[in-house]
Amino acid sequence: RGGGQHVWTWYLVTVACLWNAGFFVANRIWWKKKTNPTDPATSFLDRSVSEIENQIWLLKNILWWYLLPPGIAFLCVYLQRMIQESGAVESAEQLWAIRWDFAFSYLVIVLVFGILYYINQRYVRTELEPRKTELLELRENLIGEEF
């Protein structure tokens, strides 16, 4: 456990966290749209639908932009730790204990990220897509009333 050894893989975790923050902020800036109070009601509905579509896109792609970067970084941290500890083993039993520790860490990461992915996909199906449909129907009703 190399007291005082510098673990370079933690830089990967930092980069992954910065990537997540940067991606999210850039997405929010990109999708932020100004509205004018004198705009017709349909323009507000269009903006709301656009925001929901963006949220759906973010959550459907959460694996690629949010979960995978830190997941890979954490796995690299555990892999480096396993390699470092493997160099100081005195028996095959210790080596297998280290390997099982890595496998367990890997399994926990995959399980937690899988649960997070499932929760987000369920939210898209049960909340966002029905809300989008509702807003589109409301928009169609407003357009129908204008003519």
Convert the pLDDT of each residue in 36-71 to its tens digit.
Answer: 666 777 788 888 999 999 999 999 999 999 999 999
Q: 70-109 pLDDT, tens per residue?
A: 999 999 998 898 888 888 888 889 889 999 999 999 999 9
pTM: 0.80
DSSP string, 10-79: HHHHHHHHHHHHHHHHHHHHHH-----TTS-HHHHHHHHHHHHHHHHHHHHTHIIIIIHHHHHHHHHHHH
Residues near 67 by Cβ (< 8 Å), separated by ≥ 6? Answer: 113, 116, 117
Find out whether 59 and 123 touch, Cβ atoms under 8 Å: yes
- pLDDT-based confidence at residue 33 (cuts at 50, 70, 90): low
Query: Cα separation of 25 and 42, whole Å?
Result: 27
